[in-house]
C-alpha cells in the first residue's frame, strides 16, 4: 500500500527533525531557566487550570486545527495525494514574506495574521497550479512535480524572509515562527481565525463526503455519474490549502504535513469504515493539537509544531500497536487463534482417521478414541503442544479423556471431525483429478488449504467430484494413511539416520 | 422520442491520446435488447471506446448519441461496470457501501441514506448471489466477488444501457455463470449491454452481435455473420498493420520534439 511508504517518509523525514528542533529549544530554555523558573511555576498552574482567557482560546484554536487536519487528511490519504499537502505548505512561505513587504503599500497592517495568511494561501495556490502544470508536461511524473515546487518555493520563501529580517519591524514580526510554529505568538484574534476556518473546512468536507468518497475510491465511476473529478480535486486541494494556512501559526510549514497524514494513517489501524476513520483521525489530530499547544503554553520558547507532531507520532505508534482493526497486537492474536484452530482441526481429524478402519462391519461403531502415542506418530507435534490442544478441545466439548488416557471424540467432536475429513479428502481428490498433483503429495497440499475452504467452495467441490464417484458421504482417502504420509516417513528417516 | 432512437449510435469517432490516435473512424449502432461483445487485442482501444462514450476522455471528432441524445442528458440511463483492477480494494468501505454508491446520484449530497436505498442495494447484491456478503469488508473479497459487487453497483441504477469493461476477466466459474444470467435477464427486459470480452471461445454463446476492434472497426454485425476465422485473423493479425506502424512513427516523432 502506498500509504505505508508515505508513513515511512514521515517517520524519517519529519519526526526526526521535530525531535531535533525540540531538543535544541530545550537546551536554549535550560540556559534561561534560572531567570524564569520562579515565574514559570505560578503561570504553569494557571495554564493547566485554563484560567487564562488567552490560553483557552489558543488551546481551542489548536484543537480545531487538529480536528480539521484529521478530516482533510483522511480524504487526501485515501486519494493517495497525501504528499501534495507538503508541497503546498512549503509553497506558502514566499506568500508570507511578500504579504509582509507589500501590506504597508496597500494600506493594511503587515502584522495582521489574516493578511499574512492570505499571502500564504495565494502562493500556496500558485504552487498547486504549478504542480498541475508540471505534471502535464511529458515525461515528468507527480513526484518530480512535488519535489520541484516544494524546494523552489521554499528556497524563494527563505530568501524573501532573509530580506525581511534585516528590516527593524521585520525582525520584530517573528515571521520565522511560521517555519516551526509558535502558539505562544498566537493572539486570541489569531485563534478565532483558525477556529472559524477549521470549522468551515470540516463543514465543507462533510457536506461533500459522498462525491469525495466516490472520487477517492473509483475516479472513473465518479466521472461517469456526472461528478466533475477536476472540481472535486480542486475542492479537496482548496481545503488542504486552508488547513495549511491556519496551521502555519501553530505547527509551522515544515511540519504541517505531519498533521495531515499521521492522524489519518493512524486511524486506519482502528477501523475499516470510512465515517469512523474520519472521526478517529479528527480525534487523534485534535488531541495532538490540544496537547502540543498546552505544553507550548506551559513552557514558552518551545516551538509548538514539533511538540504537536511528536504527540501525533506517539499516537500513531500506539495505534500501530494497539489498533483494534489492523494493529500489530490484534493481528498476532488473530494469527495465534488461527494456528490453534488449525492444530485442533488436525487433532480431531487425526483421531477420526486412526479409527476409520475399525468401524467397518460394526453396526454401532464406538466413539473414535486414540492414545497420545498414536497421535504423536501421525503429526510432528511435541508432547506439550498435543496435551495443550487436547485440553483446549476438551474445554470446547469436542473430546474427552478416558481414564486410560485415550482421547475420545464426543458426538459433537465427531460431527466436526467428519466434516473436516470430508473437506480434506474432497480437496485431495480435486488436486489429484483436476490439478495433476501426485497422490503422495496431496495430503500436505490439502493440509494447507482445507482450513480456508468456504462452504460455497465445498459445495462446488462436491458437485464436481460426486458426479464421478457413486458414493456420497466421506470419500476414502486417496493415499495410504498413517505411516505412508510424508511427514511421518521423513521423521522415520531421520530417526534411523540418528540411530 | 427516445423510444424509437437506438440505445447507442456512434458516428465518425476518432480519439487520440497525446496526439497519438487510439481509435479511428468508428461507426457503430446498437439496437435495443441486444447483447454486444467487443473483442480485440490489447491496446486496440476497447476501453477507450467505452470511456469516450461516457465523455471521460476528449475526442478528436465524432458524434455519440445515447437514445438519440447526447451523453450529458442521458447519464442516468447508462450503467458502467469498470475494470475491477481500476480501484484499490483496500479502501475502508463495506460491500453494501460500494453498491450504495450506485445510488449517490439519486440520494444527493446531504440527505441521509435511507432504508429503501439500503434495501435496493441489498436486492442488487442478492441478484448477483452476494446477499450474505453485504457487511463484508471489500478487501476480503475474491476477484469474482469484487466483480459481482461492481455489477451490483451498476444494477442498482436500473439503467437501460450497460457498458461493461472486461467483467469476465479472471473470474471463477460461478461468477461467470452469474454474469451471463444477469446479461440474459437484461436482454429479456429490453435492456442493452455492451461488454468488452477477451475469451473468444464464449463469444458466439454469450453475444448477439460483436464488434471486432483493432484501432479501427475490423468487422461488426450479428455474431454468426461476422465472427469468422478470417475476421479474427484480421483483428488479431500477428504482423503490425500499416496503421499501427504509422501511429508508432507519430508517437516517436512526438517524443523527439
Q: A96 near A245, Cβ under 8 Å?
A: no
Q: Are residues A445 and A347 part of one domain?
A: yes
Domain count, chain A: 2
Q: What is the pLDDT of residue A440?
A: 74
Q: Which residues of A touch B (CB under 8 A)?
A: 1, 78, 80, 138, 207-208, 210-211, 213-214, 216-218, 220-221, 223-226, 268, 271-274, 277, 456, 460
Q: What is the pLDDT of residue B232?
A: 87
Average pLDDT on A93-114 reads: 84
Distance (Å) from the alpha carbon of B229 to chain A's nearest alpha carbon: 31
Residues of A in contact with B255 (CB under 8 A): 138
Q: Is the pLDDT of residue A41 over 70?
A: no
Q: What is the pLDDT of residue B145?
A: 92
Could you give the ipTM of this predicted complex?
0.87
A367 DSSP 8-state letter: P
In chain B, the percentage of residues whose pLDDT exceeds 90 is: 51
Q: Are residues A176 and A276 part of one domain?
A: yes
By three-state DSSP, how is residue A401 classified?
strand
Banded model confidence at residue B186, pLDDT cuts 50, 70, 90: very high
Q: What is the pLDDT of residue B100?
A: 94
Shortest CA distance from A271: residue in chain B? B92
Decide which of B251 and A255 is more confident. Answer: A255
Strands of B8-17's sheet in order across: B20-30, B8-17, B61-66
Which residue from B49, B58, B81, B52 is spatially nearest to B213, judged by alpha carbons?
A: B49
Which of B87, B88, B104 has its CB closest to that of A225?
B104
Q: What is the pLDDT of residue A378?
A: 76
Q: What is the pLDDT of residue A35?
A: 46
Q: What is the pLDDT of residue B193?
A: 95
Q: Which of B50, B54, B55, B92 to mutate to test the interface with A (most CBs of A within 10 A)?
A: B92
Average pLDDT on A433-441 reads: 75
d(CA A185, CA A301): 10
Quick check: B94 and A277 CB within 8 A?
A: no
Decide which of A329 and A341 is more confident. Answer: A329
A15 DSSP 8-state letter: I
Domain B8-256, architecture per CATH: 3-Layer(aba) Sandwich (3.40)
Which of B86, B88, B137 has its CB closest to that of A220?
B86
Banded model confidence at residue A417, pLDDT cuts 50, 70, 90: confident
Helix axes A328-354, A304-322, angle to 10 degrees: 10
Q: Are residues A403 and A297 part of one domain?
A: no
d(CA B54, CA B197): 19
Q: A36-45, A186-195, A336-345, B212-221: which range is least confident on average?
A: A36-45
d(CA A426, CA A436): 14
Q: What is the pLDDT of residue A27?
A: 59
Q: A189 near B63, Cβ under 8 Å?
A: no
Quick check: A272 and B92 CB within 8 A?
A: yes
* Domain that residue A153 falls in: 2-326
Average pLDDT on A212-224 reads: 92
Q: Are residues A350 and A289 part of one domain?
A: no
Q: What is the pLDDT of residue B78?
A: 92
Q: Is the pLDDT of residue A354 over 60?
A: yes
The answer to whether residue A497 sits within a structural domain is no
**CATH at A468:** 1.10.10.10
Banded model confidence at residue A493, pLDDT cuts 50, 70, 90: very low
Banded model confidence at residue B118, pLDDT cuts 50, 70, 90: very high
Q: Are residues A464 and A418 part of one domain?
A: yes
Banded model confidence at residue A212, pLDDT cuts 50, 70, 90: very high
pLDDT digits (tens, 9 = 90+) for A287-301: 999 998 888 778 766
Q: What is the pLDDT of residue A234?
A: 87
The top-scoring range by mean pLDDT among A12-21, A106-115, A434-443, A482-491 is: A106-115
Shortest CA distance from A224: residue in chain B? B54
Distance (Å) from the alpha carbon of A460 to chain B's nearest alpha carbon: 9
Q: Are residues A301 and A342 part of one domain?
A: no
Q: Is the pLDDT of residue A110 over 80?
A: no
Quick check: A221 and B153 CB within 8 A?
A: yes
pLDDT digits (tens, 9 = 90+) for A134-148: 887 777 888 888 999
Q: Is the pLDDT of residue A408 over 50?
A: yes
Q: Is the pLDDT of residue B150 over 90?
A: yes
Which residue from B10, B104, B3 is spatially nearest to B50, judged by alpha carbons?
A: B10
Banded model confidence at residue A40, pLDDT cuts 50, 70, 90: low
Which of A210, A224, A277 has its CB closest to that of B80?
A224
The answer to whether residue A347 sits within a structural domain is yes
Residue whose grid cell is 439500503: B118
Q: A255 near A308, Cβ under 8 Å?
A: yes
Average pLDDT on A470-496 reads: 51
- Tell whether B111 is within 8 A of chain A (Cβ): no
Average pLDDT on A207-225 reads: 92
pTM of the model: 0.81
Q: Which of A207, A210, A325 to mutate to test the interface with B (most CBs of B within 10 A)?
A: A210
Which of B87, B174, B255 has its CB closest to that of A218?
B87
Q: Is the pLDDT of residue A483 over 80?
A: no
**A309, A326, A343 - which closes a domain:** A326
Q: Are residues A322 and A360 part of one domain?
A: no
Q: Which of A226, A279, A325 to mutate to test the interface with B (most CBs of B within 10 A)?
A: A226
What is the DSSP code string of chain B? Answer: -TTTS-SEEEEEEEEEETTEEEEEEEEEEE-TT-EEEEE--TTSSHHHHHHHHTTSS--SEEEEEETTB-HHHHGGGEEEE--GGGS-TTSS-BHHHHHHGGGHHHH-SSSPPPHHHHHHHHHHHHHTT-GGGTTSBGGG--HHHHHHHHHHHHHTT--SEEEESSTTTT--HHHHHHHHHHHHHHHHTT-EEEEE---GGGHHHH-SEEEEEESEEEEEEEHHHH--HHHHHHHH-SSPPHHHHHHHHHHHHHHH-
**CATH at A37:** 1.10.3470.10
- Tell me whether residue A109 is exposed, middle or buried, using C-beta atoms within 10 angstroms of its C-beta: 0 to 12, 13 to 18, 19 or more: exposed
Q: Are residues A348 and A244 part of one domain?
A: no
By three-state DSSP, how is residue A328 classified?
helix
pLDDT digits (tens, 9 = 90+) for B72-82: 888 889 999 99
Q: Is the pLDDT of residue A265 over 90?
A: yes
Residues of B in contact with A221 (CB under 8 A): 80, 82, 101, 153
Decide which of A305 and B212 is more confident. Answer: B212
By three-state DSSP, how is residue A302 classified?
strand
Q: What is the dihedral of CA B26, B32, B34, B40, to 10 degrees?
A: 10
Distance (Å) from the alpha carbon of B113 to chain A's nearest alpha carbon: 10
- The mean of the pLDDT values for chain A is 80
d(CA B166, CA B151): 11
- Tell me whether residue A136 is exposed, middle or buried, using C-beta atoms within 10 angstroms of its C-beta: 0 to 12, 13 to 18, 19 or more: exposed
Which of B80, B87, B92 has its CB closest to that of A268?
B92
Average pLDDT on A249-272 reads: 91
Q: Rounded to 5 degrees, what angle do the CA atoms A124, A128, A133 make? A: 145
Which residue from A479, A360, A477, A488 is spatially nearest to A420, judged by alpha carbons?
A: A477
Q: A36-50, A226-240, B82-96: which range is least confident on average?
A: A36-50
Average pLDDT on A232-252 reads: 89
Q: B47 near B196, Cβ under 8 Å?
A: yes
Average pLDDT on A149-163 reads: 92
The answer to whether residue A488 sits within a structural domain is no
CA of A282: how far to CAs of A68, A72, A77, A110, A198, in Å? 7, 9, 14, 33, 11
Q: What is the pLDDT of residue A427?
A: 82
Q: Are residues A341 and A317 part of one domain?
A: no
pLDDT digits (tens, 9 = 90+) for B220-248: 999 999 998 888 888 887 555 666 667 77
Q: What is the pLDDT of residue A22?
A: 61
Q: Are residues A342 and A280 part of one domain?
A: no
Q: Are residues A95 and A58 part of one domain?
A: yes
The answer to whether residue A232 sits within a structural domain is yes
The answer to whether residue A499 sits within a structural domain is no
- The mean of the pLDDT values for chain B is 88
Which residues 6+ apart lie within 8 Å of B32 measured at CB? B6, B7, B190, B192
Shortest CA distance from A460: residue in chain B? B174
d(CA B192, CA B209): 11
Shortest CA distance from A226: residue in chain B? B75
Residues of A in contact with B93 (CB under 8 A): 213, 217, 273-274
Which residues 6+ apart lie within 8 Å of A302 measured at CB? A22, A25, A26, A29, A295, A296
Quick check: B94 and A214 CB within 8 A?
A: no
Which residue from A172, A188, A165, A179 is spatially nearest to A297, judged by alpha carbons?
A: A188
Q: Are residues A216 and A141 part of one domain?
A: yes
Amino acid at each position: 500500500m502506498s500509504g505505508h511508504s508515505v508513513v515511512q517518509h514521515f517517520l524519517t523525514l519529519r519526526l526526526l527533525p521535530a525531535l531535533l528542533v525540540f531538543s535544541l529549544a530545550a537546551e536554549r530554555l535550560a540556559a534561561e531557566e534560572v531567570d524564569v523558573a520562579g515565574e514559570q511555576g505560578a503561570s504553569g498552574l494557571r495554564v493547566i487550570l485554563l484560567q487564562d482567557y488567552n490560553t483557552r482560546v489558543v488551546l481551542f484554536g489548536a484543537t480545531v486545527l487538529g480536528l480539521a487536519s484529521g478530516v482533510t487528511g483522511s480524504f487526501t490519504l485515501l486519494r493517495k495525494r497525501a504528499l501534495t499537502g507538503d508541497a503546498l505548505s512549503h509553497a506558502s512561505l514566499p506568500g508570507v514574506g511578500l504579504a509582509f513587504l507589500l501590506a504597508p503599500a496597500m494600506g493594511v497592517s503587515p502584522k495582521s495574521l489574516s493578511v499574512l495568511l492570505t499571502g500564504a494561501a495565494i502562493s500556496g495556490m500558485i504552487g498547486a497550479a504549478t504542480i498541475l502544470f508540471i505534471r502535464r508536461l511529458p515525461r515528468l511524473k507527480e513526484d518530480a512535480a512535488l519535489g520541484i515546487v516544494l524546494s523552489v518555493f521554499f528556497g524563494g520563501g527563505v530568501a524573501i524572509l532573509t530580506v525581511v529580517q534585516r528590516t527593524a519591524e521585520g525582525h520584530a514580526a517573528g515571521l520565522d515562527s511560521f517555519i516551526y510554529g509558535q502558539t505562544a505568538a498566537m493572539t486570541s484574534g489569531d485563534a478565532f481565525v483558525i477556529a472559524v476556518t477549521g470549522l468551515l473546512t470540516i463543514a465543507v468536507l462533510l457536506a461533500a463526503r459522498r462525491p469525495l468518497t466516490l472520487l477517492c475510491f473509483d475516479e472513473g465511476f465518479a466521472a461517469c455519474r456526472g461528478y466533475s473529478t477536476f472540481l472535486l480535486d480542486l475542492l479537496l486541494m482548496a481545503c488542504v490549502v486552508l488547513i495549511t494556512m491556519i496551521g502555519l501559526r501553530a505547527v509551522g510549514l515544515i511540519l504541517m504535513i505531519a498533521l495531515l497524514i499521521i492522524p489519518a494513517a493512524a486511524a486506519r489501524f482502528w477501523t475499516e469504515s470510512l465515517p469512523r476513520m474520519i472521526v478517529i483521525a479528527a480525534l487523534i489530530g485534535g488531541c495532538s493539537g490540544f496537547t502540543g499547544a498546552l505544553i507550548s503554553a506551559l513552557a514558552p520558547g518551545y516551538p509548538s509544531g514539533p511538540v504537536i507532531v511528536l504527540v501525533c507520532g506517539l499516537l500513531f505508534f500506539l495505534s500501530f500497536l494497539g489498533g483494534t482493526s489492523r494493529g500489530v497486537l490484534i493481528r498476532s492474536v488473530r494469527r495465534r487463534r488461527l494456528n490453534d484452530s488449525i492444530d485442533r482441526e488436525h487433532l480431531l481429524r487425526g483421531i477420526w482417521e486412526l479409527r476409520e478402519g475399525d468401524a467397518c462391519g460394526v453396526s454401532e461403531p464406538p466413539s473414535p478414541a486414540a492414545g497420545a502415542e498414536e497421535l504423536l506418530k501421525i503429526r510432528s507435534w511435541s508432547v506439550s503442544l498435543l496435551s495443550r490442544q487436547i485440553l483446549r478441545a476438551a474445554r470446547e466439548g469436542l473430546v474427552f479423556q478416558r481414564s486410560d488416557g485415550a482421547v475420545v471424540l464426543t458426538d459433537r467432536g465427531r460431527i466436526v471431525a467428519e466434516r473436516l475429513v470430508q473437506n480434506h479428502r474432497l480437496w485431495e481428490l480435486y488436486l489429484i483429478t483436476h490439478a495433476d498433483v501426485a497422490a503422495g503429495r496431496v495430503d500436505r497440499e490439502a493440509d494447507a488449504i482445507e482450513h480456508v475452504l468456504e462452504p460455497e467452495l465445498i459445495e462446488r467441490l462436491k458437485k464436481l467430484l460426486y458426479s464421478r464417484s457413486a458414493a456420497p458421504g466421506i470419500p476414502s482417502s486417496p493415499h495410504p494413511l498413517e505411516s505412508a504420509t510424508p511427514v511421518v516417513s521423513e521423521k522415520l528417516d531421520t530417526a534411523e539416520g540418528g540411530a | 422520442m427516445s423510444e424509437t432512437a437506438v440505445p447507442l449510435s456512434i458516428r465518425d469517432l476518432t480519439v487520440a491520446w497525446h496526439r497519438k490516435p487510439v481509435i479511428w473512424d468508428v461507426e457503430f449502432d446498437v439496437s435495443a435488447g441486444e447483447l454486444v461483445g467487443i473483442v480485440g487485442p490489447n491496446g486496440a482501444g476497447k476501453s477507450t471506446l467505452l470511456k469516450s462514450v461516457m465523455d471521460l476522455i476528449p475526442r478528436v471528432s465524432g458524434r455519440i448519441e445515447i437514445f438519440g441524445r447526447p451523453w450529458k442528458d442521458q447519464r442516468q440511463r447508462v450503467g458502467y461496470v469498470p475494470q475491477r483492477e481500476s480501484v484499490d480494494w483496500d479502501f475502508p468501505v463495506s460491500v453494501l457501501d460500494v453498491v450504495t454508491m450506485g445510488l449517490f446520484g439519486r440520494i444527493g449530497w446531504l440527505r441521509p441514506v435511507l432504508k429503501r436505498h439500503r434495501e435496493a442495494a441489498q436486492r442488487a447484491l442478492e441478484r448477483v448471489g452476494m446477499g450474505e456478503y453485504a457487511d463484508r469488508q471489500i478487501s476480503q473479497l475474491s476477484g469474482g466477488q469484487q466483480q459481482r459487487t461492481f455489477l451490483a453497483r451498476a444494477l442498482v441504477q436500473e439503467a437501460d444501457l450497460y457498458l461493461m469493461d472486461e467483467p469476465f476477466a479472471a473470474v471463477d466459474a460461478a461468477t461467470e455463470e452469474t454474469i451471463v444470467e444477469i446479461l440474459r435477464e437484461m436482454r429479456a427486459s429490453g435492456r442493452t449491454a455492451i461488454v468488452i470480452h477477451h475469451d473468444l471461445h464464449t463469444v458466439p454463446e454469450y453475444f448477439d452481435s460483436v464488434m471486432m476492434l483493432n484501432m479501427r472497426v475490423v468487422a461488426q454485425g450479428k455474431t454468426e455473420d461476422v465472427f469468422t476465422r478470417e475476421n479474427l485473423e484480421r483483428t488479431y493479425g500477428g504482423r503490425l498493420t500499416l496503421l499501427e506502424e504509422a501511429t508508432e512513427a507519430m508517437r516517436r516523432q512526438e517524443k523527439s520534439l
